[in-house]
Structure 1
């Protein structure tokens, strides 16, 4: 039985993950979120819900204890939240962490799109960079995800780049990011301490097509 904790379970990517794992007989989910009313679906039979904030140590410990994988897709003070998650996971003996950040935190996006991306979201990048640095230094078995600009397209198609490679593409569907999260969560071995950019193939350009 695979046990997966989803932190920030009401987020749009996270809810795709919940949909993909719902009703699986070999999977148990713990959905951690501030308000259960924000879930876009009924609570699956293979899930339990904990309402709480990542900074609530007792509730976070309840969510991550005994889990095979912890998936975090959060907003706001992501660096402080990453620090809290790492501390509680290590104390609880949980080892695998999938942590979602964003593209551009390493100035890895080339060309005109990179310049445009920095103008659009540059002020928001430092906390995500710090969060990624904390995860990489944590001693946990981790994957850091860096998605391109997100769309609601009903498709699963993606390619990836590694930590020191130039980022590809400009956009990616939330459903595609969720599919990668599920694939990683179902990995039987180590996550391998990877830092992955994810984009839809053949979406190069000066900015996302929907902008």
Structure 2
């Protein structure tokens, strides 16, 4: 298996790198703006299993070599989300890869109920439109996608998650970045899992009107 991690220097991306190296024999294509940021990882990235590509995820020419020949793309990005989504939708077919897991955020479907939903909208409402637009671009494509909507993210060193589907109310208030990466790993190993679905992910039992760490 060959896997491209787009946004490899994000905290979720770094968790994914560690999990894929530890739990699989996959070859990794790591795509990020600045390779020096990977120095924060206490991992040997110099072996034959890892290739590093630098560039912007909105740059088709830079992204194409990183995606060529891979089986699965995991994207964890921030910034110009709609532009990134459009580039992936264009470049992935050119590179010969269809399976994508793409991280957005909770709230883009107005799916978060109750007091937490109102608090979440107050806190991140202005940030939702770019993530919503990116999701729509991907859902309108022919890619075999999974859109992942995480709860509020923590750095807890744990894998503990539950999933909600598009037409279900969101559960929980928080989730570890490692859990999001672990979900991506499961999708890479089982490509039929959550195929062409838009899913939420949270930590079971993390209920309340806001995340516990706030």
Common fold: TM-score over 0.5: yes
Correspondence for 1:15: 14
In structure 2, C-alpha distance between the alignment counterparts of 1:196 and 1:24, rounded to whole Å = 24
Correspondence for 1:200: 203
Q: Size of the alignment, in residue pairs?
A: 210
Structure 1 residue 83 corresponds to structure 2 residue 86: yes
Structure 1 residue 43 corresponds to structure 2 residue 45: yes
Structure 1 residue 117 corresponds to structure 2 residue 109: no
Correspondence for 1:163: 166
In structure 1, C-alpha distance between the alignment counterparts of 2:58 and 2:146, rounded to whole Å = 22
In structure 1, C-alpha distance between the alignment counterparts of 2:23 and 2:172, rounded to whole Å = 33
Of 115, 128, 132, which aligns to 1:129?
Answer: 132
In structure 1, C-alpha distance between the alignment counterparts of 2:110 and 2:34, rounded to whole Å = 35
CA RMSD of aligned residues (A): 1.4
Contact 1:10 1:33 in 2 (8 A): yes
Q: Give the alignment's TM-score, normalised by structure 2.
A: 0.94
In structure 1, C-alpha distance between the alignment counterparts of 2:106 and 2:181, rounded to whole Å = 16
How far 1:190 sits from its partner (Å)?
A: 6.6
Correspondence for 1:71: 74
How far 1:30 sits from its partner (Å)?
A: 0.1
In structure 2, C-alpha distance between the alignment counterparts of 1:25 and 1:73, rounded to whole Å = 20
User: What are the ranges of 5 or more consecutive residues in structure 1 without an aligned counterpart?
Assistant: none
In structure 1, C-alpha distance between the alignment counterparts of 2:195 and 2:76, rounded to whole Å = 19
User: What are the ranges of 5 or more consecutive residues in structure 2 without an aligned counterpart?
Assistant: none
How far 1:180 sits from its partner (Å)?
A: 0.6
Q: Give the alignment's TM-score, normalised by structure 1.
A: 0.95
In structure 2, C-alpha distance between the alignment counterparts of 1:7 and 1:178, rounded to whole Å = 13
Distance 1:23 1:110, change over 3 A: closer
Contact 1:34 1:52 in 2 (8 A): yes
In structure 2, C-alpha distance between the alignment counterparts of 1:24 and 1:182, rounded to whole Å = 9
Contact 2:187 2:193 in 1 (8 A): no
